[in-house]
Amino acid sequence: MKRLILTAAAMLAATQVFAGVRIETVTRDIKTKVADGGPQVVMVQDGKVRMNNEHDGNGMILKNSVLYVIDNKRKTYTEIDKATMKQTIDQASAAMKEMEEQLKSMPPEQRAQMEKMMGGMMPAKKDVYEAKDTGKSETSEGRQCRVWNLLKNGKPSEELCVVPFASLPGKEDFEKAFKELAEATASMTAGLPGAGDSIKVRNSISGFPVRVRNFDEAGKLRGTETILTQWVAESLPGSTFDVPAGFAKKDLPKMVR
């Protein structure tokens, strides 16, 4: 009986070793394969997600439906829960609507001047995003993937080569984890016209993009790509998903109209 208990404990420990995954992507030149900067690291375990930029250590942590934005240089973090996310979206929508109403009453010359000053932040015709399955399959770093195009106003904006989540190592519910992260990120960018819509449509493509390329305004692929280089199952310390010790909490800036 004692041996049976020890064997069961060993099996349980073995399953816990591979509870999480570590994912690395790099941005590189398509032709030369030379990386531009360090890797972007994503770690997932028990439904929690951490994203790190290895170059500066900054990143985000998603834990228990709360998003923590880490600023390594200033040793601060910002905490964003669902209520704050909703408030951010509501404030951004109200501010954009108010700006639209103000623009309507402006003379054409003054409106043009304001649009030039504010650039892409000015309310304009709403961009329409959609995802299109090209029907093609390609290979990225030995992984066969399905090619999707993200369209902006009918024109290609991004090319994503996607693999099913089930084909990747690990026992996490990756689709759920990444969907929650995308929703949280979309709420953070709610003040940017169309940014949230782009993220939502991108997230509607079922699977993980192992290669991402961007199109220019002329519809041609740019010279760089972001590719998946590592996806390994490994045990991650619980502290991975904690805000670093000694970091000060910083409130979100209030939106000024």
- DSSP at 164: -
Output the pLDDT for position 89: 67
How does the average pLDDT of the chain come out, rounded? 81
pLDDT band at 8 (very low <50, low <70, confident <90, very high): very low
Note the pLDDT tens digit of each residue in 113-140: 776 776 655 555 678 999 999 999 999 9
Output the pLDDT for position 70: 92
Q: Which of 51-65, 70-84, 94-108, 203-217 has the lowest mean pLDDT?
A: 94-108
C-alpha 131, offset from chain centre: 16
141, 161 Cβ separation under 8 angstroms: no
Distance separating the N- and C-terminal Cα atoms of the chain? 70
pLDDT band at 109 (very low <50, low <70, confident <90, very high): confident
State which amino acid sits at residue 233.
A
pTM of the model: 0.74
pLDDT band at 196 (very low <50, low <70, confident <90, very high): low
Strands 76-80 and 248-249: parallel
Residues 98-119, mean pLDDT to the nearest whole number: 76
Q: Alpha helix (H) ranges present in the chain?
A: 2-17, 82-104, 108-118, 174-188, 195-203
Output the pLDDT for position 43: 93
Note the pLDDT tens digit of each residue in 42-89: 999 998 999 987 666 689 999 988 999 999 889 999 998 877 777 766
- Six token digits for residue 113: 């001047």
19-249: CATH number: 2.50.20.10
pLDDT band at 226 (very low <50, low <70, confident <90, very high): very high
- The pLDDT of residue 19 is above 70: yes
123, 96 Cβ separation under 8 angstroms: yes
Question: What percent of the chain is modeled with pLDDT above 70?
Answer: 80
Going edge to edge, which strands form the sheet with 155-163?
129-140, 143-152, 155-163, 208-215, 221-234, 20-29, 40-45, 48-53, 59-63, 66-71, 76-80, 248-249
Output the pLDDT for position 257: 47
- The pLDDT of residue 143 is above 70: yes
- Six token digits for residue 105: 């009453």
Q: Alpha helix (H) ranges present in 105-156?
A: 108-118
- The pLDDT of residue 14 is above 50: no
Output the pLDDT for position 129: 92
Q: In the chain, where are the structural domains located? A: 19-249
SS3 245: coil
234, 19 Cβ separation under 8 angstroms: no
What CA–CA distance (Å, rounded) separates 237 from 145? 31
Output the pLDDT for position 83: 76
- The pLDDT of residue 16 is above 50: no
Residues 187-209, mean pLDDT to the nearest whole number: 74
In order, the DSSP letters of 122-187 are S--SPP-EEEEEEEEEEEETTEEEEEEEEEETTEEEEEEEEE-GGGSSSSS-HHHHHHHHHHHHHH
- The pLDDT of residue 193 is above 70: no
Neighbours of 257 (CB within 10 A): 8
Output the pLDDT for position 192: 55
